[in-house]
């Protein structure tokens, strides 16, 4: 089990990015959360198998059709708490 914290920077708010991240996290059995940040980015915390997280991050790099991802900043950490599901924080 690994954990990654980070943010997606670009045109990622108002384009269903959080729902996109949620849907793909569910498919890959990733737990954690995603939320809009004050600076216009989308922040996330994801836990799961390293290969699943890496695949999820590649999917986020593409994003939903209306998004434009400039970059993703990530920091790998050992899990500090264990999540039981993936959620969208409003």
Q: What is the pLDDT of residues 47-72, one digit of tens each?
A: 999 999 999 999 999 999 999 999 99
| Catalytically annotated residue among 2, 18, 31, 77 | 18
Tell me, yes or no, whether 64 lies in a domain. Answer: yes
d(CA 49, CA 1): 5
| Catalytically annotated residue among 5, 29, 36, 77 | 36
Tell me, yes or no, whether 87 lies in a domain. Answer: no
* Domain CATH code at residue 39: 3.30.70.100
Tell me, yes or no, whether 90 lies in a domain. Answer: no
Count of domains in the chain? 1
Give the structural domain span for 41.
Answer: 2-82
Model pTM score: 0.95
pLDDT digits (tens, 9 = 90+) for 1-39: 899 999 999 999 999 999 999 999 999 999 999 999 999
**Torsion on CA atoms 56, 60, 63, 67, rounded to nearest 10:** 160
Sign of the C-alpha dihedral, residues 23, 71, 62, 65? positive
Q: With bands split at pLDDT 50, 70 and 90, how would you rate the model's confidence at 80?
A: confident
Tell me, yes or no, whether 89 lies in a domain. Answer: no
**Residue 82: is its pLDDT beyond 90?**
no
> Is 18 noted as a catalytic residue in this protein?
yes
> Is 36 noted as a catalytic residue in this protein?
yes
Dig out the tokens for 65 from the structure: 């059709």
């Amino acid at each position: 089990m690994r954990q990654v914290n980070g943010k997606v920077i670009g045109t990622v708010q108002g384009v269903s990015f959080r729902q996109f991240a949620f849907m793909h996290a569910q498919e890959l059995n990733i737990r954690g959360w995603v939320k809009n940040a004050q600076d216009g980015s989308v922040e996330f915390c994801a836990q799961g198998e390293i290969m699943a997280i890496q695949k999820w991050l590649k999917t986020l790099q593409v994003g939903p059709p209306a998004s434009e991802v400039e970059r993703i900043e990530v920091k790998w950490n050992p899990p500090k708490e264990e999540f039981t599901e993936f959620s969208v924080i409003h």
